[in-house]
């Protein structure tokens, strides 16, 4: 039976406020009598239907604003599905049923009817129930709107708050809980480079267990690689998805990630909101419930109404974040560059035309354009940093920064934050968020000088960065993609370090994709004169003295010397010669050069281990002997320097200056060799 009625009210009667009623009742007599009662009271009855299908059709055509609904229709059909459709459209409805059975009542209560009338009913009760339903609906809607507005404002505040991202996400989760039930909620904001994600598992009324990405992997038993692969398998969804019970199960059969989540957290339903932002980020909120049927179209609607304001807020927050990040990066770059200008003004040219040096040039030209890691090996002072710059300057990354990190001088407690940065509040004293050297070098190059001195635990983290191309700030909520080329340098014999367990083999392999061996100066004596002239001119210019060349005797001495401190030593000696020069005649040396090499003259030294070459003793046979010999020599040299500097390390005439080492490097070596800082007159050794 499908009986649309003339919607026009009977003449002389005013329609009840908002009173367009649809009657869904399979007993014709009852339907007819309902119609009479309602029309008499001023309602407009827009139609009579005796099945769900008919009612749906009339609903579309006549848009009633109240529905009277029999629970059991023709042929035992129940009207619960119609009730849910009405609920989704916010049309209030009143059940009319002869069945007052408790279990039926319980079931229909979940559809949130506006009223319930038991047949047979009195006319007065019917009209009264209708009045109340209309009133409650109008007020309910208003209240709901007010609540949603308040929620929108609270969400905007939560997302804009000046707190770390996981705290923001927790606040969002807390705010949504009263509106959308969940046992687990996974929130994430990601773009191609960064992921900020955090999940919250409900463990009490207002209590949540925070599940960070690493916890999530542990709880699901997935590795980071497996997780990434399973995520990639997920069909891309836009907008809103509702998966209750069987739908959720089906989704689990198609997605192993869903399966893993279902199994690990024992959830049976999912409601997903995906919000793309104008900046190319995607914000997702995935609610999971342990109930099989918790999510209703009404939940989708709330999210639908919230998503526009959430998107706008996120876009604003991300824009501010980006501005803050850029200005921080600019500030850091600026400070870094200023420092660079101060410390690297002398790194302009690489001087020398000897065959060993030209061979290195050739290798630099080959490797620079590629993106591979480069390991620069060579004794102290051979120009490793200079060559690292050459590789960077000849690479496509030259317009970005080359960030230098001296692994030997990084303070142990700050090492991680220095390299990877930290979030505000990550540890006591972290009052501001700070980006690390890796982020600073993004799209550029990082130069890890003295990599052989890097502590083992940090080597492990570095390896992870190399493998995953991601870093994680201390206290951060997720990995951040970095695109950094690595150039490492050391004057240590890394293979020996590996053999002795001080350097990770896997890291060594990663770094040594392309090793550059810098020849010591004694193996390219052809370059000595040219280098000496270059430095002499440079320091004369700097001192404002005219340059009259280098005296023949001084040049002869320079050529005969074995240069254990390599080019840095040569540079220092020339600088001293310029200082003592009166500006009237060619440069002479301030002190005679005493070679520490065997009389046979400069030939290739044994593999360099530390800063100073070994004296001529019987050749060591084992690796341990080699190491011992180097340590011994270095120790003697440092002790001698300390004694002649009266125990002073820093400043003019200090041991560091005598040894051509940075004071921090010297202190580090002293600590390694067990030399205690002491006053000079005493023996500086303990």
Ligand X SMILES: Nc1ncnc2c1ncn2[C@@H]1O[C@H](COP(=O)(O)OP(=O)(O)OP(=O)(O)O)[C@@H](O)[C@H]1O
State the residues that interact with ligand X by CB under 6 A.
346-347, 350-352, 378, 380-386, 449, 491, 531, 567-568, 571
Phi, psi of 196 (to 5 degrees): -115, 110
Compute the least distance from the CB of residue 339 to ligand X, in Å: 15
The CA distance from 15 to 291, in Å, is 44
Residue with tokens 């207002």: 206
Compute the least distance from the CB of residue 517 to ligand X, in Å: 12
Burial of 645 (0-12, 13-18, 19+ CB in 10 A): buried
Compute the least distance from the CB of residue 412 to ligand X, in Å: 20
Exposed e or buried b per residue across 539-564, where buried means at least 16 C-beta atoms within 10 angstroms of its C-beta? bbeeeebebeebbeebbebbeebbbb
Exposed e or buried b per residue across 55-84, where buried means at least 16 C-beta atoms within 10 angstroms of its C-beta? bbebbeebebbbbbbbbebeeebebbebbb
Compute the least distance from the CB of residue 383 to ligand X, in Å: 3
The CA distance from 645 to 244, in Å, is 79
Compute the least distance from the CB of residue 195 to ligand X, in Å: 37
- CA 603, 609, 613, 615 torsion-angle sign: negative
Compute the least distance from the CB of residue 436 to ligand X, in Å: 22
Within its chain, how far is the Cα of 196 from the centroid? 7
Compute the least distance from the CB of residue 451 to ligand X, in Å: 11
Of 524 and 635, the one with the shorter C-beta distance to ligand X is: 524
Burial of 436 (0-12, 13-18, 19+ CB in 10 A): buried
Smallest CA-to-CA distance from 609 within 593, 624, 596 is with 624
Of 95 and 387, the one with the shorter C-beta distance to ligand X is: 387
Compute the least distance from the CB of residue 662 to ligand X, in Å: 8
The CA distance from 243 to 259, in Å, is 13
Compute the least distance from the CB of residue 375 to ligand X, in Å: 13
Of 129 and 633, the one with the shorter C-beta distance to ligand X is: 633
Compute the least distance from the CB of residue 356 to ligand X, in Å: 11
Of 383 and 476, the one with the shorter C-beta distance to ligand X is: 383
- Cis peptide bond upstream of 120, omega within 30: yes
3-state secondary structure of 540: helix
CB atoms within 10 A of CB 120: 7
Of 571 and 667, the one with the shorter C-beta distance to ligand X is: 571
Compute the least distance from the CB of residue 538 to ligand X, in Å: 9
The CA distance from 194 to 470, in Å, is 9
Of 386 and 658, the one with the shorter C-beta distance to ligand X is: 386
**208: which DSSP letter?**
E
Of 308 and 346, the one with the shorter C-beta distance to ligand X is: 346
**406: which DSSP letter?**
E
C-beta nearest to ligand X: residue: 383
Compute the least distance from the CB of residue 594 to ligand X, in Å: 21
Of 165 and 612, the one with the shorter C-beta distance to ligand X is: 612
The CA distance from 532 to 560, in Å, is 13
Smallest CA-to-CA distance from 407 within 352, 465, 335, 462 is with 462
Of 416 and 449, the one with the shorter C-beta distance to ligand X is: 449
Residue 406 pairs in a beta bridge with 449
Of 22 and 528, the one with the shorter C-beta distance to ligand X is: 528
Compute the least distance from the CB of residue 649 to ligand X, in Å: 17
Of 277 and 382, the one with the shorter C-beta distance to ligand X is: 382
The CA distance from 514 to 93, in Å, is 76
Compute the least distance from the CB of residue 318 to ligand X, in Å: 41
Alpha-carbon torsion, ordered 622, 627, 632, 637, to 10 deg? 130
Residue 23 pairs in a beta bridge with 48, 68
Of 108 and 386, the one with the shorter C-beta distance to ligand X is: 386
**19: which DSSP letter?**
-
Percentages of the chain per state (helix, strand, coil), in multiples of 5: 45, 15, 35
CB atoms within 10 A of CB 585: 10
**DSSP string covering 268-284, please?**
-EEEEEEEE-TTS-EEE
Of 224 and 673, the one with the shorter C-beta distance to ligand X is: 673
Of 484 and 518, the one with the shorter C-beta distance to ligand X is: 518
Phi, psi of 259 (to 5 degrees): -60, -45
Of 274 and 409, the one with the shorter C-beta distance to ligand X is: 409
Of 387 and 438, the one with the shorter C-beta distance to ligand X is: 387
The CA distance from 335 to 343, in Å, is 12
The CA distance from 195 to 481, in Å, is 9
Pairing of strands 485-490, 44-49: unpaired
Compute the least distance from the CB of residue 539 to ligand X, in Å: 12
Token readout for 230 is: 């399973």
Compute the least distance from the CB of residue 556 to ligand X, in Å: 21
Residue with tokens 């700097």: 542
């Amino acid at each position: 039976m499908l009986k649309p009625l003339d919607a026009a009210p009977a003449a002389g009667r005013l329609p009840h406020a908002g009173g367009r009623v649809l009657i869904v009742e399979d007993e014709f007599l009852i339907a007819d009598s309902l119609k009479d009662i309602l029309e008499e009271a001023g309602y407009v009855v827009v139609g009579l239907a005796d099945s769900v299908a008919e009612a749906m059709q009339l609903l579309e055509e006549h848009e009633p604003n109240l529905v009277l609904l029999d629970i059991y229709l023709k042929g035992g059909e129940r009207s619960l599905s119609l009730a849910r459709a009405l609920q989704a459209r916010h049309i209030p409805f009143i059940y009319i049923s002869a069945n007052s059975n408790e279990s039926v009542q319980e079931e229909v209560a979940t559809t949130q009817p506006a009223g319930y009338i038991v047949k047979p009913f009195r006319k007065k009760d019917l009209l009264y129930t209708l009045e109340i339903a209309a009133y409650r609906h109008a007020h309910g809607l208003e209240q709901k709107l007010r609540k949603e507005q308040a929620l929108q404002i609270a969400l905007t505040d939560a997302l804009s708050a000046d707190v770390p991202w996981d705290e923001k996400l927790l606040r969002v989760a807390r705010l949504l809980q009263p509106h959308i039930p969940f046992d687990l909620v996974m929130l994430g904001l990601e773009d191609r480079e960064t992921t900020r994600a955090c999940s919250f598992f409900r463990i009490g009324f207002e209590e949540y267990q925070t599940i960070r990405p690493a916890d999530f992997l542990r709880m699901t038993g997935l590795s980071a690689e497996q997780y990434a692969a399973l995520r990639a398998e997920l069909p891309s969804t836009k907008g809103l998805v509702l998966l209750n019970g069987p739908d959720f199960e089906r989704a689990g059969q198609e997605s192993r990630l869903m399966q893993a989540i279902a199994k690990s957290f024992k959830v049976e339903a999912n409601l997903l909101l995906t919000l793309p932002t104008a900046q190319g980020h995607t914000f997702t909120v995935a609610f999971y419930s342990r109930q099989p049927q918790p999510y209703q179209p009404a939940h989708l609607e709330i999210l639908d109404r919230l998503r526009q304001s959430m998107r706008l807020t996120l876009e604003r927050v991300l824009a501010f974040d980006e501005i803050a990040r850029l200005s921080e990066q600019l500030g850091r770059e600026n400070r870094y560059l200023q420092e660079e200008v101060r410390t690297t003004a002398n790194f302009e040219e690489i001087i020398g035309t000897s065959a060993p040096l030209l061979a290195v040039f050739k290798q630099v030209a080959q490797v620079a354009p590629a993106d591979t890691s480069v390991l620069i090996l060579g004794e102290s002072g051979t120009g490793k940093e200079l060559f690292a710059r050459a590789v960077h300057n000849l690479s496509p990354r030259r317009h970005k920064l080359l960030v230098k990190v001296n692994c030997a001088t990084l303070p142990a407690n700050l090492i991680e934050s220095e390299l990877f940065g930290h979030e505000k509040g990550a540890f006591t004293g972290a009052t501001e968020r700070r980006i690390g050297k890796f982020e600073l070098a993004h799209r550029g190059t990082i130069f890890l000088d003295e990599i052989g001195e890097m502590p083992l635990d940090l080597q492990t983290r570095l390896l992870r960065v190399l493998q995953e191309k991601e870093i994680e700030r201390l206290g951060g909520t997720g990995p951040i993609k970095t695109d950094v080329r690595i150039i490492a340098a050391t004057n240590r014999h890394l293979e020996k370090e590996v053999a002795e367990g001080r350097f990770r083999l896997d890291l060594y392999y990663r770094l040594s994709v392309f090793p550059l061996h810098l020849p010591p100066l004694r193996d390219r004596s052809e370059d000595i004169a040219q280098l000496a002239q270059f430095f002499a001119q440079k320091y004369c210019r700097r001192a404002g003295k005219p340059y009259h060349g280098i005296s023949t005797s001084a040049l002869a001495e320079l050529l005969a010397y074995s240069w254990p401190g390599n080019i840095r030593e040569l540079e220092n000696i020339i600088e001293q010669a310029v200082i003592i020069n009166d500006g009237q005649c060619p440069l002479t040396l301030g002190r005679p050069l005493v070679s520490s090499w065997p009389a046979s003259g400069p030939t290739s030294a044994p593999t360099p281990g530390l800063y100073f070459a070994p004296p001529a003793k019987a050749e060591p046979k084992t690796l341990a002997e080699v190491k011992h010999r180097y340590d011994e020599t270095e120790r003697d040299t440092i002790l001698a320097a300390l004694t002649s500097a009266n125990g002073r390390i820093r400043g003019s005439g200090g041991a560091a200056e005598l040894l051509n080492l940075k004071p921090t490097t010297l202190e580090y070596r002293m600590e390694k060799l067990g030399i205690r800082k002491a006053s000079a007159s005493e023996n500086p050794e303990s």
